[in-house]
Amino acid sequence: MRARMTRGLIGLLGAAALATGCTSGASPSASASASSAPTTVTAAQLHDYVAEVEPVRLAVNDLLDEADPILDAYRAHSITPEVAGQQMSELESKFAVQLVAVESIVPADATLRELHRPYADTFIDEDTYLAALAAALPHGEFAELPDTRNDQRRAIVVWRTQLEVLAGQTGASLPDDLQQAGRGEIAPSPTEG
């Protein structure tokens, strides 16, 4: 799961599942075209932003690793649906802490704030999904699970790509694993292993 969520989120993560996706008042293509214009973001501001968001992103990746064992045990009937629901609810509560952490990030530059908003929104979607999954597991009714994977993936890919563009413009360096954000599975599935 970690590899999938690292690619998917941040993860989460991410996925990370992991919002209104890319809706921050501008379309993803508008955000992408805005990146070709000169930026006011400095390398130091970009570095500071990444240094602030990276611990949250990585914590979500690690946290979402906990979803696979719960769902594997659920599918193997080695835990009851009620226990699976309770464990997923506990995981969602831990995720909610990371949601608050990402929402608390206020980048110094307006460009970074605009870029951060849709990324932070993916955490809202992921938290919503995890809460719905926790509620659905005891009854095995998964038809109503929110499906925001594509919106989340798109928002995360736009976020990652724009960070890479800004890094190129400012000469800042980004974490190597950031290129995995937006790839892979976003939402842990209760029926597929």
pLDDT of residue 19: 32
Q: What residues contact 23, with CB distance under 8 A and at least 6 apart? A: 118, 121
Give tens-digit pLDDT for 177-190: 877 676 555 677 77
Give tens-digit pLDDT for 22-58: 333 334 443 443 444 556 899 999 999 999 999 999 8
pLDDT of residue 127: 95
Q: What residues contact 177, with CB distance under 8 A and at least 6 apart? A: 6
Domain boundaries, the chain: 2-13+42-172
pLDDT of residue 61: 84
Distances from the Cα of 48 to the Cαs of 43, 45, 82, 112, 121, in angstroms?
Answer: 9, 5, 43, 11, 20
Assessment of whether the complete model's pTM goes beyond 0.75:
yes
